[in-house]
């Protein structure tokens, strides 16, 4: 298995390439920016891109998706509850003071229970609203890996003060969905360092049972 994560763009969104070196196939999660770098890496690794998976429609996660689709032909997956945010791209770019990236409607949804990813490395979609209404986490059960988007960070959780955010909802998503996963599950957050469910259960101040 090939697994590479690296920060892209001014907000340092963690973009992840997950590849199967035998099938020569890959998925990319959250290509927020630096699309040429992502595409170059895929060619260097000899991987054909099968899916572009976007955890939520914030500009730093979705900004490069259409460009990457044009370069590779891979379809874009995004939960439909984030379509209103996707359509606010100009406002999102203005918040950051960056140019508005070209965007397009997703080719497919990312719905609760749906299975995406590669044949050997499938992921279950967990709909975890709160940071945004369409936020999802991708749970690669056989790999004991969770790609968490901006729902869970090492020692923190996603902000809920932007349009579509809801604090009670993210707390419910965290408790009912993410804390239900085994402690040894590795967590790849949308920003910052990796962690595990066990570590966050133990020490994340937002996850204390109230």
Query: Using CB under 5 A as the criterion, which residues of the chain lie in contact with Zn ion when the complex forms?
Result: 58, 150
Least distance between Zn ion and beta carbon 131 (Å): 6
Task: Please report the beta strands in 21-168, taking only residues with DSSP state E, as ranges in sequence order.
Answer: 25-29, 48-53, 76-77, 115-117, 122-127, 136-140, 145-149, 152-153, 156-157
Nearer to Zn ion, 46 or 163 (CB): 163
Q: Are 166 and 129 in contact (CB under 8 A)?
A: yes
Nearer to Zn ion, 19 or 130 (CB): 130
Burial class, 61, CB count within 10 angstroms (exposed 0-12 / middle 13-18 / buried 19+): buried
Give me the torsion for CA of 82, 86, 87, 89, rounded to 10°.
Answer: 140
Tokens read off for 205: 């101040």
CA distance 85 to 153: 21
Least distance between Zn ion and beta carbon 77 (Å): 17
Nearer to Zn ion, 19 or 190 (CB): 190
Least distance between Zn ion and beta carbon 150 (Å): 4
Burial class, 124, CB count within 10 angstroms (exposed 0-12 / middle 13-18 / buried 19+): middle
Closest CA to 31 of 64, 4, 6, 1: 64
Tokens read off for 57: 């429609």
Least distance between Zn ion and beta carbon 156 (Å): 13
Least distance between Zn ion and beta carbon 186 (Å): 20
Nearer to Zn ion, 58 or 67 (CB): 58
Nearer to Zn ion, 26 or 138 (CB): 138
Least distance between Zn ion and beta carbon 57 (Å): 9
Determine how many CB atoms are found less than 10 A away from the CB of residue 37.
14
């Amino acid at each position: 298995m090939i697994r590479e994560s690296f920060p892209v763009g001014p907000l340092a969104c963690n973009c992840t390439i997950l590849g199967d070196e035998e099938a020569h196939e890959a998925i990319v999660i959250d290509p927020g920016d630096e699309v040429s770098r992502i595409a170059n890496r895929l060619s260097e690794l000899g991987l054909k891109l099968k899916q572009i998976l976007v955890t939520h429609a914030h500009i730093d996660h979705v900004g490069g998706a259409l460009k990457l689709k044009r370069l590779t032909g891979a379809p874009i997956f995004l939960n439909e509850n984030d379509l209103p945010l996707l359509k606010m791209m100009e406002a999102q770019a203005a918040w950051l003071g960056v140019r508005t990236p070209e965007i397009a409607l997703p080719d497919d949804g990312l719905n609760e229970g749906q299975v995406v990813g590669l044949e050997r490395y499938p992921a279950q979609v967990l709909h975890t609203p709160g940071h945004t209404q369409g936020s999802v986490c991708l749970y690669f059960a056989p790999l004991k890996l969770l790609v968490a988007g901006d729902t869970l960070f090492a020692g923190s959780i996603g902000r809920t003060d932007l349009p579509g955010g809801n604090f009670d909802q993210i707390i419910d998503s965290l408790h009912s969905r993410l804390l239900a996963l085994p402690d040894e599950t590795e967590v790849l957050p949308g920003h910052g360092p990796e962690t595990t469910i066990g570590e966050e259960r133990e020490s994340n101040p937002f996850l204390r049972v109230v």
